[in-house]
Amino acid sequence: MSARERPLSAVPGWLWAFLAASLAAQLTLQAVPSAHRNAVENLPPAPGPLTLRLASFGETAAAARLAMIYVQSFDLRAGNDIPFRRLNYTRLLAWLRTILATDPRSQYPLFAAARVYAEIPDPVKVREVLRFIHQEFLAEPNRRWQWLAQAALIAKYRLHDLPLALRYATALQRDTTTENVPLWAKHMVVFMLEDMNELQAAKIMLGGLLVRGDIRDPAERRFLQNQLDKLEQRRQQAPAGEGQKR
């Protein structure tokens, strides 16, 4: 056991009681006949972050994890043939916001949003999830960049909404400052512009990055210069009127 880990015996008894109650609620929901299940499908309104913090008695990380278990208990019922889709997403996202506010270090609510709750065939609800991810990214861009990158890819490939994908990619480039953000994420905006056939705009952006000296890593400069050369080649090969900013 590492110095930072705590034995299970150190977890307060009230947290174990909360977990037991959550599991009992899950089992109860599974036992409800399908004819009556609609009455219990949706989450109750989320508590405010202050309420959950006060109830945690200082064990905010544990309380956040147990709250996620509680939320996901509504997704794991037997006989739920359309997972997640029936949930009230306004309430769901309110729960995820409360959990993040209770334990801002946790990445799991954003993981669940991007990789679970955005995987439904409902564009309206998917857009709600992506909006949530963008808002939470803005609070801590350098720690949450990967989830906005995922949101940009969902917007592009699942919603087929390139302007929305470009908006998220632009935020990634503009708001992240740490060197830990990989090259493909920082410059995703260039590829979005290229996909939108905005070759001239992409070329200007790449050229600006190189000229201003924003890029100091030699490998990154070579990569961007190579992309710039490819864009220029495509622009020259494009029929008249194409590749210009619309």
| 113 and 57 housed in the same domain | yes
State the CB neighbour count (10 A cutoff) for residue 184.
10
| 139 and 184 housed in the same domain | yes
- Under the banding of pLDDT at 50, 70 and 90, the label for residue 192 is confident
| 184 and 66 housed in the same domain | yes
**C-alpha distances in Å from residue 242, one per residue of 163, 200, 204, 236:** 18, 10, 16, 10
Examine residue 135 and state whether it is found in any structural domain, yes or no: yes
| 139 and 18 housed in the same domain | yes
| 167 and 233 housed in the same domain | no
Looking at 165, 188, 211, the residue that finishes a domain is 188
| 54 and 72 housed in the same domain | yes
| 210 and 94 housed in the same domain | no
Examine residue 78 and state whether it is found in any structural domain, yes or no: yes
Domain that holds residue 81: 13-32+41-188
Count of structural domains, the chain: 2
Examine residue 234 and state whether it is found in any structural domain, yes or no: yes
**Least confident stretch, 15-24, 105-114, 186-195:** 15-24
| 98 and 215 housed in the same domain | no
* pTM (2 d.p.): 0.71
**DSSP string for residues in 65-87:** HHHHHHHHTTT--TT-SSTTTTS
Assess whether pLDDT exceeds 50 at residue 123: yes
Assess whether pLDDT exceeds 80 at residue 232: no
Average per-residue pLDDT for the chain = 76
Assess whether pLDDT exceeds 50 at residue 205: yes
| 22 and 86 housed in the same domain | yes
pLDDT single digits (tens) 47-70: 887 777 776 666 788 888 888 888
Using only C-alpha atoms, the chain has a radius of gyration, in whole angstroms, of 23
| 239 and 138 housed in the same domain | no
- Under the banding of pLDDT at 50, 70 and 90, the label for residue 28 is very low
| 108 and 138 housed in the same domain | yes
Assess whether pLDDT exceeds 50 at residue 214: yes
CB burial string 13-48: b at 16+ within 10 A, e below: eebeebbeebeeebeebeebeeeebeeeeebeebbe
**CB of 135 within 8 A of CB of 171?**
no
Distance CA 100, CA 126 (A): 19
Examine residue 6 and state whether it is found in any structural domain, yes or no: no
| 175 and 219 housed in the same domain | no
